[in-house]
Amino acid sequence: MSSSSLHHESPSRFQVVYRITRRNETSIESLARDLVIEQTVECPPESLSQEILGKRIVGEIQEMVPMDSIQGAFDVTVSYRSDTTGFTVPQFLNVLFGNTSIKNNVSIQDIRFDTSLHQAFRGPGFGVAGIRELLGVYGRPLACTAIKPMGLTTGQLAELTTQFALGGADIVKDDHGISNQHFHPFEQRVCACQEAITKANARTGKNSMYFPMISGRFDQLERQVQWAVRQGIRGILIAPFLVGPDTVRYLSETYNLIIMGHPALSGTFFHDPSHGMPPAVLLGTIFRMLGADISIFPHAGGRFAFTEKQCSDLANTLRRDEGQWKKSYPCPAGGMSLDRIEAMSALYGVDTVFLIGGAILKHPEGVLEGTRVFMDRIREHFPNEQARRVSDESPSSCELPARRQGFGPATVLRHKDYRWSDREVTAYKSDDSCSFRGISRQELTGPFGEQTSFDVRYFEIEPGGHSSKERHAHEHIIIGVRGTGKLLKGSVLIDVNIHDVARVATMEPHQLRNDSTEPFGFFCIVDHNRDRPIPVE
C-alpha cells in the first residue's frame, strides 16, 4: 500500500473515517490493511500485481488515531479512488461498507466527499430554504403530522388530512406502513388526501402539503410517483432501505419532489456503536446524499433508544456545509408528545421539522384541536414567525420529464405507395458535384427509441439515379421492394428484383443504381452503431 513511488496517475479520492476496535492481539495496522483490501480488490495481497498497486485502486490508510475514551479503538482515515465507486450509489455503498458490514468492530465516523462525488450525487433538491419557499413559512420550525393507522378507509384518512391541515400543520404525511393495501389503495388514497389538503388550504390560506408513502414494487414505484405528481403532490415519504437507496436518488433527481426520508429497516446499522454507521452518517450524510430534504429519526426519550448526542450530531450533519449540497431538515419523531416541544426547540433550533403523530390522534379534544395546540406550542418558542407569499411555480404535471420530441419507436408503420406512416421522407438534393443522384430515404426503425442493434431504412432511386460509391466496415443487407435495380459489388453488377436479398460485405466497394424507367426501392438494414462510409473513386 505504500505506493507513493508507484502511482502513474492521480485520480481524485474521497475519505472515510472508520473507527476500528481491537479485540485481540491483531495489530491496528493489520486490521486497517485487511479493511482497505476487503473494500476494494478483495484479493490476497500477494496476488496483487505492480500494475494494480500502481493504479492505487487499494484504499490507502492516511491516519490512525487512538481514541482515549474507548479501549482499543482507533479512528482510521482511509482514502479511495472516487472512480472505484463507478459514481453510482450501489457501488459507492459497496466500497464504503459492503463486505465489511459482515465483519465486526468497524464503525464509520465520517465521509469526506471530494468534488467529483459531490457532483455525481446532487443531494437535496429543495433543502431547508426551498421548502420554506414552497410553504411560505419562516422563523419557526415546521410542523408535520401523520395519517394513520393502517386499515382505516381512504375516506377516514382523507378526513384526518383535512383536520390536520385545518389545524395548521405544514406537512401531513402517510404513516410509513400505509402503502398500496386494498384498505386504502395508493391511487385512490393519494387522490382523496391531496384533494382534502387542497380544499383545506383554500379555507386556511396556507399552503400545507400532503406526502404519500412510496413503497411499491420496483416496477410499480415510478408509475406511482408519476401518478402522485400529476395529482399535484409536492413531496413524498420514502424509506431508502425498503425500496433501495438509489431509488431515492433517482426520484429526487428526476422529479421535482421534496424527499422525506424514513429510517425503516435501517436500525441495525446503528444498533451497536462499535459496528455499522451511527445515525449522523447513515440518516445524516447518506440520506442527504440520496436527496433527502428531510430526514426522520427517533428523538431521544421517545419509544426508541437514540441519545440526545446522537440526535444533535445527526441534526448538525444534515445542516453542515457539504460542497454545493443544500441543507436538509432534521425531523425528530418517534412517540413525541406536545409537552416536549420546548426541549426539542432548544436542542434543534429553527430549521427543524417536528413530527407528532399519535399524541395528536389521541388528543382529548380531537385532531383539529390537537393540531392547533401543536402549532401554538411551536409558536410559543418561536414567536417571530413570518409568513410570505408563496412564489408561483409551474404546475407539477408539467415537470414530468419531457417526452422525446418527434417520432416514437415503431408500433406499426403502415405502408402505402412506398411511404410509411409516422416517418418522414428525406430527399437528397443533388447536383453534378454530388456523389449521388435522385435518391430518397425513409428511416423506419432504429433511431426512434427502439432497443435494436440494427436500423431499417427504405431507399428509393429515380430512373437514372444512383447512390454514392463507397465502402465501410459495416455490412448492408438489401431487400428489393419496388421495381428493379442494380447493385455494384466490387466489380460485379447484380440485378436486385423484388424480395431479392443481397449482401454487401465488410469494406466491399458498392453502389446502387437504377438503370430502368421505373423507381427502384429497397430496404437497407444496417448495424445501429456503424462506421462512416469511405468514398470510392
Strands 142-147 and 137-138: unpaired
Q: Which of 21, 208, 328, 445 binds a copy of itself (CB under 8 A)?
A: 445
* Sign of the alpha-carbon torsion through 306, 307, 308, 310: negative
Stretch that binds a copy of itself, among 82-90, 135-143, 161-169, 511-519 (CB under 8 A): 82-90
> Is there a contact between 158 and 193 (Cβ–Cβ < 8 Å)?
yes
Q: Does 179 bind a copy of itself (CB under 8 A)?
A: yes
Ranges within 390-429 binding a copy of itself (CB under 8 A)? 409-415, 418, 420
Min separation Cβ 387 and a copy of itself, Å: 31
Residue given cell 412564489 in the structure block: 391
Ranges within 154-173 binding a copy of itself (CB under 8 A)? none
Ranges within 223-252 binding a copy of itself (CB under 8 A)? 223, 226, 230, 239, 241-247, 249-250
Query: What is the CA 386 to chain-centroid distance, rounded?
Result: 34
Query: What is the CA 99 to chain-centroid distance, rounded?
Result: 24
Query: Is the Cβ of residue 4 or residue 451 nearer to a copy of itself in the bound state?
Result: 451
Min separation Cβ 8 and a copy of itself, Å: 12
Query: Is the Cβ of residue 286 or residue 344 nearer to a copy of itself in the bound state?
Result: 286
Query: Is the Cβ of residue 96 or residue 137 nearer to a copy of itself in the bound state?
Result: 96
Q: Known catalytic residue: 524?
A: yes
Please report the DSSP string for 247-280 in residue order.
HHHHHHHHS--EEEE--TT-GGGTSBTTBB--HI
Min separation Cβ 511 and a copy of itself, Å: 15
> Is there a contact between 73 and 67 (Cβ–Cβ < 8 Å)?
yes
Min separation Cβ 126 and a copy of itself, Å: 20
Phi, psi (degrees; rounded to nearest 5) at 111: -125, 130
Nearest alpha-carbon partner for 18 in 4, 7, 34, 42: 34
| 27 to 66: interface string for a copy of itself, x by CB under 8 A | -------x---xxxxxxx-xxx---x--x-x---------
d(CA 120, CA 102): 27
| 450 to 489: interface string for a copy of itself, x by CB under 8 A | xxxxx-x-----------------xx-x-xxx-----x-x
Min separation Cβ 16 and a copy of itself, Å: 14
Query: Is the Cβ of residue 88 or residue 324 nearer to a copy of itself in the bound state?
Result: 88
**Residue 490, helix vs strand vs coil:** coil
The length of the chain, given as a count of residues: 537
Ranges within 188-227 binding a copy of itself (CB under 8 A)? 215-220, 223, 226
d(CA 145, CA 255): 24
C-alpha cell at 348: 434543534
Nearest alpha-carbon partner for 145 in 173, 186, 180, 115: 173
Query: Is the Cβ of residue 42 or residue 68 nearer to a copy of itself in the bound state?
Result: 42
Size of the site for a copy of itself (CB under 8 A): 130
Q: Which residues are catalytic?
A: 524
